[in-house]
């Protein structure tokens, strides 16, 4: 997860290789019909706005959704093991929950093992921070502002309000994972979790959560002006990455605008409520000493057009120019034209034949070719299939064309006691042109033996004391930071390289 990403195929409007949660869609349509008959409509008062609203999701359902989603969030992203940092977010999270508009919810707070700069919440009180965003906070007040924003989504019932809007528009929530096996029996929960995470809040909801974040963080004693400053960090991340937008702001208003608005809200709040508002910069920096920064090599990484997994000791090629996404559940990649994609994941089954039958059944595949082979000394099975389209009633649709038919090339490889699946996916019209690339990737799967790769250690945040006053660039050079890291170090410190740094202050550096 890395972040959760669903890659789509151009010219494939029904996206056959995404398994839609039709059961949920049908349930929502039924709810819509009941509402239209006046059998379900009811008003409740929003705990934040005080306004009466029609809401189709009860509090019990919100809590159930969070509990159902959590296992798949963990499976997809993993939890980051840092007891001290976890204790910190628990302490601040529960303190904020008590002063929130919905203190009775069973709030839970987690750090997920992803380098992406992101924070998100699901209904029922589940709040998640990536280690990536924790590395970019520069004080407790910045963290508290984002914490308040995410709790605000929950207390203002934004997911429930968004779901209601979709129901009234006769739009069912489609939840999907791309060719993901039903690992540990959690497929249904995974689909539901991904659906929740892909459910974009409206800009109105985001603005409302910013306002709530100012209130909540201020009420537990933090200076919300720092929350505004963090949007400056997000803006720098966005500018450095070009068109790629950090997940935290992908559906949010422009971070530059938010900085100004949140700063004004903080000023207004503090004028109306005079008092001492804390920042706690040094205390926070000491808490993140040793935090993993960027990709953790043991989870797998791409370098020189190869995907390496030191922990599982294998590698395979990544075509030049392809975009990719890695998570604990799967590795997926695709060319920029979007006409094909490839997926690497663990397969279910004790034998190659068992794994093949499970894949055929789970994804309604019709196999046209099936043969055994070896790939770099490893037993393998190769299949070529097409996916049989299913109507809502479960019947095969009558006509399939080159534009709406998905074809799949699958390599199942037995290696080190596990069976791995490599899938190449394209529409029938593009499949022939893609098979050569698919084959090169699959046949490039082999054992990883390079000791330099196997022993690769992650970069970590290292907190240093400044020995002399100077610009951030000069201070970082004194600490032997390479020029190639200067821009990243400026961003994670929330500064510009020309900014002055005082002697005795703490700054972030990177080291093994």
Residue pLDDT, tens place only, 50-63: 555 545 567 788 88
Q: Name the pairing type of β-strands 323-326 and 314-317.
A: unpaired
Give the whole-angstrom CA distance, residue 345 versus residue 386: 19
Question: If you write DSSP's letter for every residue of 392-407 in order, what string do you get?
Answer: TTSPBPS---TTT-EE
pLDDT at 72: 86
Nearest 5°: CA angle at 93, between 219 and 52? 65
CA atoms 282, 288, 289, 294: torsion sign: negative
Quick one: how many helices (H) and strands (E) in the chain? Answer: 16, 21
pLDDT at 69: 86
Q: Has residue 460 been placed in a domain? A: no
Three-class SS state of 365: strand
pLDDT at 73: 87
- Give rounded-to-5 percent helix, strand, coil for the chain: 40, 25, 35
pLDDT at 365: 92
Give the whole-angstrom CA distance, residue 168 versus residue 447: 53
Q: How many Cβ atoms sit within 10 Å of the Cβ of residue 361? A: 9
**Same domain? 119 vs 264:** yes
CA 267, distance to chain mean position in Å, is 33
Taking the model in full, what pTM does it have?
0.76
Q: Has residue 87 been placed in a domain? A: yes
pLDDT at 242: 59
Q: Has residue 467 been placed in a domain? A: no
| Listed residues 276, 292, 308: the one ending a domain | 292
pLDDT at 178: 29
At 457, give phi and psi (nearest 5°): -105, 150
Q: Has residue 465 been placed in a domain? A: no
Question: Helices (DSSP H) in 275-340: which residue ranges?
Answer: 281-287
CA atoms 336, 489, 250, 289: torsion sign: positive
- Residue pointed to by tokens 């938010």: 258
Q: Has residue 242 been placed in a domain? A: yes
Q: How many Cβ atoms sit within 10 Å of the Cβ of residue 169? A: 9
**Same domain? 274 vs 337:** no
Q: Which DSSP symbol is given to 72?
A: H
- Residue pointed to by tokens 């000023």: 267
Q: Has residue 129 been placed in a domain? A: yes
pLDDT at 66: 83
pLDDT at 44: 57
Question: What is the number of domains present in the chain?
Answer: 3
Give the whole-angstrom CA distance, residue 148 versus residue 136: 17
**Same domain? 285 vs 301:** no
Q: Has residue 106 been placed in a domain? A: yes
**Same domain? 156 vs 265:** yes
**Same domain? 46 vs 128:** yes
Strand partners, 128: 110, 120
pLDDT at 179: 32
pLDDT at 167: 31
Q: Has residue 131 been placed in a domain? A: yes
**Residue range 255-293, pLDDT digits in tens:** 667 888 999 999 999 999 999 999 999 999 999 999 999
| Listed residues 292, 322, 350: the one ending a domain | 292
- Greatest extent of the chain over all pairs of C-alpha atoms, in Å: 75
Structural domain containing residue 477: 473-511
Instruction: Answer yes or no: are the C-beta atoms of 116 and 244 closer than 8 Å.
Output: no
**Same domain? 367 vs 350:** yes
**Same domain? 386 vs 288:** no
Identify the burial level of 148 via C-beta atoms within 10 angstroms of its C-beta, where 0-12 means exposed, 13-18 middle and 19 or more buried.
Answer: buried
Please list the ranges in the chain whose pLDDT falls under 50: 1-42, 54, 161, 163-200, 243-252, 392
pLDDT at 216: 97
**Same domain? 269 vs 308:** no
pLDDT at 223: 98
pLDDT at 53: 54
**Same domain? 286 vs 308:** no
pLDDT at 323: 92
**Same domain? 145 vs 174:** yes
pLDDT at 250: 43
Residue 389 belongs to a domain with what CATH number?
3.40.1000.10
pLDDT at 443: 98
**Same domain? 196 vs 247:** yes
Give the whole-angstrom CA distance, residue 72 versus residue 191: 8
**Same domain? 270 vs 197:** yes
| Listed residues 292, 326, 351: the one ending a domain | 292
């Amino acid at each position: 997860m890395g972040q959760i990403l669903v890659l789509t195929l151009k010219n494939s409007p029904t996206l056959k290789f995404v398994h839609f949660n039709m059961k949920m869609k049908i349930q929502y349509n039924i709810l819509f019909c009941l509402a239209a008959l006046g059998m379900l409509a009811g008003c409740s008062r929003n705990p934040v706005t005080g306004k009466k609203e029609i809401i189709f999701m009860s509090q019990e359902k919100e809590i159930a959704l969070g509990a159902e989603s959590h296992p798949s969030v963990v499976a997809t992203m993993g939890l980051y093991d840092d007891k001290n940092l976890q204790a910190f977010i628990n302490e601040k999270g529960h303190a904020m929950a008590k002063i929130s508009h919905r203190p009775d919810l069973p709030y839970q707070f987690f750090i997920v093992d992803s380098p992406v700069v992101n924070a998100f919440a699901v209904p029922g009180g589940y709040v998640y921070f990536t280690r990536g965003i924790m590395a970019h906070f520069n004080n407790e007040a910045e963290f508290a502002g984002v914490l308040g924003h995410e709790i605000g989504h929950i207390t203002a019932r934004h997911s429930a309000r968004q779901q209601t809007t979709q129901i009234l528009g006769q739009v069912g929530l489609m939840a999907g994972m791309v060719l993901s096996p039903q690992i540990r029996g959690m497929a249904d929960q995974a689909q539901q979790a991904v659906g929740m995470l892909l459910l974009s809040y409206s800009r109105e909801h985001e603005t409302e959560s910013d306002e709530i974040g100012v209130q909540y963080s201020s009420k537990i004693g933090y200076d919300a002006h720092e929350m505004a400053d963090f949007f400056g960090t997000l803006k720098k991340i966005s500018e450095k990455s070009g068109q790629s937008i950090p997940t935290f702001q992908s559906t949010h208003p422009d971070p530059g605008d938010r900085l100004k608005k949140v700063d004004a809200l903080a000023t207004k709040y503090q004028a109306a409520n005079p008092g001492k508002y804390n920042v706690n910069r040094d205390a926070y920096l000491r808490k993140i000493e040793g935090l993993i920064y960027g990709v953790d090599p043991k989870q797998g990484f791409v370098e020189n057009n190869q995907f390496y997994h030191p922990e599982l000791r294998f590698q395979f090629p990544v075509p030049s120019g392809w975009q990719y996404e890695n998570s604990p559940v799967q590795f997926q990649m695709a060319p920029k034209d979007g006409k094909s994609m490839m997926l690497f994941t663990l397969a279910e089954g004790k034998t190659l034949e068992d794994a093949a039958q499970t894949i055929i059944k789970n994804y309604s595949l019709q196999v046209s070719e099936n043969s055994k082979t070896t790939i770099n000394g490893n037993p393998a099975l190769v299949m070529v299939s097409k996916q049989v389209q299913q109507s809502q009633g479960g019947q095969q649709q009558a006509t399939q064309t080159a534009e709406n038919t998905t074809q799949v090339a699958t390599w199942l490889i037995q290696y080190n006691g596990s069976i791995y699946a490599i899938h190449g996916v394209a529409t029938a019209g593009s499949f022939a042109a893609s098979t050569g690339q698919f084959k090169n990737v699959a046949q490039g799967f082999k054992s990883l033996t390079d000791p330099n790769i196997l022993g690769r250690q992650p970069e970590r945040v290292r907190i240093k004391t400044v020995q002399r006053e100077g610009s951030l660039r000069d201070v970082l050079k004194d600490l032997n930071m390479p020029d190639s890291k200067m821009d990243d170090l400026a961003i994670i410190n929330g500064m510009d390289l020309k900014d002055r740094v005082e002697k005795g202050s703490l700054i972030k550096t990177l080291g093994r």
